[in-house]
Structure 1
């Protein structure tokens, strides 16, 4: 499913591409069943410790590094569909940059503010791709993400740290909602302004955020290579073979 010229032009101009029904409901059920268990344990710890920056008990919970927690999840993030999308946008050699579930509970009554993903960790090269995958339907009612089209052209914008997350914009622009059916996904530029709104429904809004960068990306502040997951593509072709632990990935020689 290599990307079309029209899709790539939209990404270049507007900063995002949506992929409707990219994965089947059955595929999402298998992934969601695994992540639900990790979220439940993470939520128990969060309730015991209290708020941990962006994660707030009974409101919103981020569980990161999932690919290291279960071989089926690591295999999933290396699926050929991710290989095709990321190599079309970034180039031939791709590594998982970061992955996390984001479960927004019905009690979440405030926005997750406008930000660029680069506002959390500096990255060189600055451009990586965020894939926001709907494990269940993401709607305006339950707090889907909103974007400001074309804002990636602004380059990196300095962020202000607040009690509810990093903020790059606090103006009146409402943005565009990105509602997604279960198994659908939006892939967007790491510099694109985006936010999410409160969950007004009675169910948990479940998303899986999977980010990919070119192999060799570093933190320009520390010089450290990003090693938060496996290489998924070399020379434009799938490169993943088998499960790697966090220690094995950290020690990998490329």
Structure 2
């Protein structure tokens, strides 16, 4: 049985773990092995194809947060793809989860976020928790860059706790034009994450972030893997928000 990772051998340094506690985020550059990077890139195309098929069936060009040919938010692919499950529950993600969430972890949500060339493909300031509700412990988002990310192709911008002035859930408002939820209306532009493919930005679900439009001719592909320290339930507490799956118990993989 796998044992708890020794801090000295963790890919997450103590300084990074402290930054996560104090400011809500840190970045691991070029940590994804090439075979895993190519796996996720291939599945990103599968995700876009499935989203387009759903919009075809509904005879629309916008469905939920998906805008045909512009941006895609596709969840649930791991249910049909064993190779993706192997990544979600693999050694790398276990190491990151232990360093940020502790010994008891559930896999919460996984999602491909893809921007095509489109000057209108920006995404508004929000907390990931803003898409859930206020009654849960902050969870972990692992924002995995599948392409080199620049400000020109739609980098994510983070607002650390000390600059946002908050480190807890904030009520969000629905933007009817885009279906975005918006929770920050200040003038701080945030810190852009300019990172090479294979990097992982790790941030708390209560860290405000946004992303710019993709002004290049290439896709900007990201995979989000999210984990929690508890089973996050619906607002009324009657059922799980998503189908959480236990990942770590007392630091060991289940």
Could you say which TM-score interval applies, normalised by the shorter chain? 0.7 to 0.9
Matched, 1:193 2:208: yes
Q: Secondary structure at the match of 1:130?
A: strand
Q: Tell me the matched-pair count.
A: 239
Change (3 A) 1:99 1:108: farther
| Superposition deviation, residue 229 in structure 1 | 4.6
Quick one: distance in 2 between partners of 1:188 and 1:117?
Answer: 10
| Superposition deviation, residue 226 in structure 1 | 4.1
Aligned to 2:23: 14
| Superposition deviation, residue 201 in structure 1 | 0.5
Gaps of 5+ in 2: 1-8
| Superposition deviation, residue 76 in structure 1 | 0.6
Aligned to 2:6: none
Quick one: distance in 1 between partners of 2:86 and 2:204?
Answer: 23
What CA RMSD, in Å, does the superposition of the two structures yield over aligned residues? 1.8
Quick one: distance in 2 between partners of 1:215 and 1:159?
Answer: 23
| Superposition deviation, residue 155 in structure 1 | 1.4
* 1:90 corresponds to which of 87, 101, 111: 101
**Residues 158-192 of structure 1, C-alpha deviations (whole Å, 9 max, x = no match):** 11100320000122111110122111010101000
* 1:131 corresponds to which of 122, 125, 142: 142
Change (3 A) 1:152 1:63: farther
Moved more, 20-29 or 189-198: 20-29
* 2:89 corresponds to which of 75, 78, 81: 78
Change (3 A) 1:207 1:90: same
Aligned to 1:208: 223
Q: Secondary structure at the match of 2:197?
A: coil
Quick one: distance in 2 between partners of 1:108 and 1:208?
Answer: 21
* 2:183 corresponds to which of 159, 168, 171: 168
When the two structures are superposed, what TM-score results if normalisation uses the length of structure 2? 0.88
Q: Secondary structure at the match of 1:84?
A: helix
Aligned to 1:141: 152
Moved more, 15-24 or 122-131: 122-131
Change (3 A) 1:34 1:199: same
Q: Check the 8 A contact 1:152/1:189 in 2, yes or no.
A: no
Quick one: distance in 1 between partners of 2:165 and 2:110?
Answer: 21
* Structure 1 residue ranges, 4+ long, deviating more than 4 angstroms after superposition: none
Quick one: distance in 1 between partners of 2:130 and 2:213?
Answer: 21
Quick one: distance in 2 between partners of 1:18 and 1:223?
Answer: 36
Q: Check the 8 A contact 1:216/1:225 in 2, yes or no.
A: yes
Quick one: distance in 2 between partners of 1:200 and 1:160?
Answer: 27
Q: Secondary structure at the match of 2:99?
A: helix
When the two structures are superposed, what TM-score results if normalisation uses the length of structure 1? 0.88
